[in-house]
Structure 1
Amino acid sequence: MHDPIKLYRQLLDADKDRWLADIPRVQQALIDAGCHYSGRPFVKVLRPKFLQRSEYAYLDYVSGVLMGLFRRLSDMVQDSEDLKRYLAISDGERRLIAPEPLCPDPLPFTRLDSFATVDGPRFVELNGEAPAGAGFNDAAMGVLGEHPLIKDFMERTGARSMKAMDGVLDGLLKAWRAAGRRSRPTILITDYDHLPTVPEFLTLRDHFIANGFDAVYEDPRALTFEGGRLWAKGKAIDLVYRRVLTNEFLEKGAEVKALFDAYEAQAVVMVNPFRSKTAHKKACFALLSGDHLGTDWMTREEQAVVERTIPWTRKVRDTKADLHGEEVDLLPFAAANAERFVLKPSDEYGGKGVTVGWECEASAWEALLQDAARTDTEEYVLQERIHTIEEPFPMLDRELEDQPMIVDLDPYIYFGKVHGVLARLASGSLCNVTSGGGQIPVLIMPD
């Protein structure tokens, strides 16, 4: 196939005045479909991300291998005080991961976040707790997929979309069956009602209902646990799609006790179980890249996939470290080579606390490293820089002129299989909707 980006641009330019005049309608349709984050539209371009079928198959393969490793790590942490200390598992987290969940897989729903490079995807984070965006993704595709320009392109090329919400529902039902359940469950989606992701929860709820399931969304503070059942909006709940993050759950304490009591009593099947928290910590990437455990716990295939897809990562400590076969003093080396590293909190999300070394003044970078090494309250990791590639996208707010954008390509993984991909765009170093980036749906292209 000819270059799909060039073909799309040719189709756009052939009737550009029409598409320019249509921008206000498209933007309003996206808002009406819930494609916004605290009122801020997150679809900022008039083009999906194009992904070759072979690229999608490769994502599925490497994601499956990596998730096998993360599952193994999660099980190892559960049985190891040493690894709990390494990952800085707090007392509150220990309490949450102690009960045996009904779903035997600690990581049924995940999203691996990657950047596109000339050598393929390089994964920088695992969203192991409550991967967001599937509902937003399908809502955006519902609007863009009806746009005449995009419909024409899809008909000419055979491109197809993939509904990420189907993966969510299928995954929930697989977790339900894995717990030995055979009846038709009533499903609860739960997270705090002040969050900007509430429109996505409502989209997911409506999708579940449209597929014949009784489903509700409710704030975890409004739940009750009575008579051995978890209750939400007057309904007895069987299956919980947990979107509330562990840290934010722990902050509320007694206000959210009903959900934990139901989980501890095995009165509900919950996805993800609280044990997903351990693999969510970015220090797990240091373990994958050889820190603390070495590599003997991995198969040769797993080591090869890690080598190709995981950047070198280490916890920030005043210690020596092996950097691609060279022993270095970690802090002085990182301070002198800021252009090679990113500094991240091990347990944050949405780009919070991330410092890009090559965009930081030398004195400030060194001070951040020293603070990160001696902090008693928060673990940090250093991750080696990834050399990203850019793609041109026609911007809605720039009269459809192309702007080079970094692409963050993030497969949704349900029980080890990819079903749908989130694509985020940014003109700077951080691709994150929370921190101001954009999100677009993905089209799968024939090879």
Structure 2
Amino acid sequence: MIDKELLERADKDYYNLLETAGKRGADASEQMKSLNKQMLEKNFTMKGKPFPTFLRPLFVDSKYKNPLRSICNNIMSSIEKVSDLFFKNKEYHHFFEMDPIDHELAMIDPHYPRRVIQARLDAFLYKDGSIKFLEFNCDSPSGMGWYDQLLRLYDALPIMKDFRKSYNAVFEPLLPPFYKMLRSKNKQFGNKDDAVFAIVCKNDSTIRNDVQLIIEHINEKEKHKAIFADPRDFSYDGKTLRVGDTPVGLIYRDAIQDFTDHLDEVKPVLNAFRDGKVCFINPFASRVGGLKCVLSFMTDDRTKHLFSNDEMKTIRETIPWTRFMRQEKTNYEGETIDLVEYVRKNKNLFVLKPNAGYGGFGVTIGHEVDQKHWDSVVETTQKEKWVVQEFVEIPQDNFPIFEPGLKWKMKNVNINFFAFDGQFGGGFTRISDGSIINVHQGGGLIPICYV
């Protein structure tokens, strides 16, 4: 399925080009310094520093895009089906760990099809083309503006110009399909085509610069009016939602906590959403699809009837064995086990994750902690809602670092696929020294380069 020889050759040629870059002009260190300088100038920053990146993309066989598209689309349709359990059967509510206010907000009808409109599917992609999905961000996946800015900066690097003399190297931006999705949902909702889009996060959010880049793309590239707003900036008269004097037809939001932490101050937005007066993306219902227990429902034989044959094939091949951590008997590797006790005694096989966690916080990898620590986390899982997931090997690759001269270091890699309205929309790659690969945990962002 994947042309391994092509990818090995591309890696080797890129390595050699970077090592010898100084013979043709700016050496690798100078190119990295220039990249960081441009990132600062363009506000491509997190907490005032250039967004962490490395002078090497992840190469993916271009012929693999169609299989990736099919896999991601099957995962998205499966997420919707698991979410239906929550919305159509009260017996499942306790699995999904929803606070009363989150539950109330999740029940608001968005007045368009689907619940998970935008998602990021976090996975490991191995050299042989196999994929393992670890979790899904269905609430407020960010980074699209940053990523497209990074692609523009990468495109201008001398190393990429040299590489393209031998390869048809393609970067695929995320914002064009993202905007296409906004237009589609706006139309399904019943708004006019020229409805103003508000891209919303808190003023002091760590993704504020990412949001600004999204706004600039919509205004400048798509020629559609988009504005920034904090969730507390709106007014509502029962008919029209506004920011200042500007009527707003569509809101693209950040995290649900931006609203639930300030309920009194965001009443205009919530009331307009309840009244069906604003197209709201993602609807709060999407959060259900991002809970870790969704993967448990996908891999449990008791719920396999929910899925089509194609979906079930994708699930079997790409989703690691996952279970809700509770006292029960279940199947693992063909045998019946007492779940909690088996997990306690076999820590090296498993990872424990808070059901509603995000940003990698709280994730505990069994083989990286001692038995005492593991036992303590297992006890926590019996008081709170957690899942256990089979540990899967973390893929690694070689990346250039500067100390100050050019060196190469193996780092852990995950690939993050975006889906817009249930359809594959591209992705980016994150790398880290640690096993938990997340920007909030010190990870870096690099492009996917199709060759």
TM-score (norm 2): 0.94
2:223 maps to 212
Gaps in structure 2 of 5+ consecutive residues: 1-5
Give, in whole Å, the separation in 2 of the partners of 1:64 and 1:174: 17
Identity rate, percent: 24
* Deviation of the 1:171 alpha carbon: 0.9
2:137 maps to 127
Structure 1 residue 444 and structure 2 residue 427: aligned?
Answer: no
Give, in whole Å, the separation in 1 of the partners of 2:85 and 2:44: 39
Structure 1 residue 240 and structure 2 residue 251: aligned?
Answer: yes
2:15 maps to 9
1:371 maps to 380
Indicate which of 56, 63, 72 corresponds to 2:65: 56
Structure 1 residue 75 and structure 2 residue 84: aligned?
Answer: yes
Q: Is the 8 A contact 1:110 1:131 kept in 2?
A: yes
Give, in whole Å, the separation in 2 of the partners of 1:350 and 1:215: 28
Give, in whole Å, the separation in 1 of the partners of 2:441 and 2:376: 24
Indicate which of 312, 332, 340 corresponds to 2:321: 312
* Deviation of the 1:393 alpha carbon: 1.1
Letter in 2 for 1:241: Y
Give, in whole Å, the separation in 1 of the partners of 2:332 and 2:197: 47
* Deviation of the 1:336 alpha carbon: 1.5
Indicate which of 411, 415, 422 corresponds to 1:416: 422
Give, in whole Å, the separation in 1 of the partners of 2:156 and 2:125: 27
2:29 maps to 20
* Deviation of the 1:58 alpha carbon: 2.0
Structure 1 residue 357 and structure 2 residue 366: aligned?
Answer: yes
Letter in 2 for 1:404: M
Give, in whole Å, the separation in 2 of the partners of 1:154 and 1:131: 31
* Deviation of the 1:402 alpha carbon: 1.3
Q: Is the 8 A contact 1:124 1:310 kept in 2?
A: yes
* Deviation of the 1:260 alpha carbon: 0.9
- Over 3 Å counting, the alpha-carbon distance change for 1:348 and 1:201 in structure 2 is same
Matched position secondary structure for 2:266: helix
2:166 maps to 156
* Deviation of the 1:396 alpha carbon: 4.5
2:295 maps to 285
1:298 maps to 307
Give, in whole Å, the separation in 2 of the partners of 1:158 and 1:152: 11
2:185 maps to 175
Q: Is the 8 A contact 2:72 2:424 kept in 1?
A: yes
Give, in whole Å, the separation in 2 of the partners of 1:143 and 1:252: 37
Gaps in structure 1 of 5+ consecutive residues: none
Give, in whole Å, the separation in 1 of the partners of 2:387 and 2:287: 17
2:3 maps to none
Indicate which of 314, 321, 325 corresponds to 2:330: 321
1:401 maps to 407
* Deviation of the 1:397 alpha carbon: 5.1
* Deviation of the 1:250 alpha carbon: 1.4
- Over 3 Å counting, the alpha-carbon distance change for 1:76 and 1:398 in structure 2 is farther
* Deviation of the 1:357 alpha carbon: 1.0
Q: Is the 8 A contact 1:8 1:153 kept in 2?
A: yes
* Deviation of the 1:146 alpha carbon: 0.4
Letter in 2 for 1:272: N
Give, in whole Å, the separation in 1 of the partners of 2:131 and 2:208: 30
**Residues 20-67 of structure 1: per-residue CA shift (max 9 Å, x gap):** 233322211122223222123333310111111133222211110111
* Deviation of the 1:341 alpha carbon: 0.9
Q: Is the 8 A contact 1:138 1:441 kept in 2?
A: no
Letter in 2 for 1:219: D
Give, in whole Å, the separation in 2 of the partners of 1:381 and 1:148: 46
For these two proteins, the number of residue pairs brought into alignment is 440
Indicate which of 92, 98, 106 corresponds to 1:89: 98
Over 6 Å off, 4+ runs: none
Matched position secondary structure for 2:166: helix
Letter in 2 for 1:107: V
2:176 maps to 166
Give, in whole Å, the separation in 2 of the partners of 1:125 and 1:314: 13
**Residues 123-168 of structure 1: per-residue CA shift (max 9 Å, x gap):** 0111111111111111111111101111221342011111111121
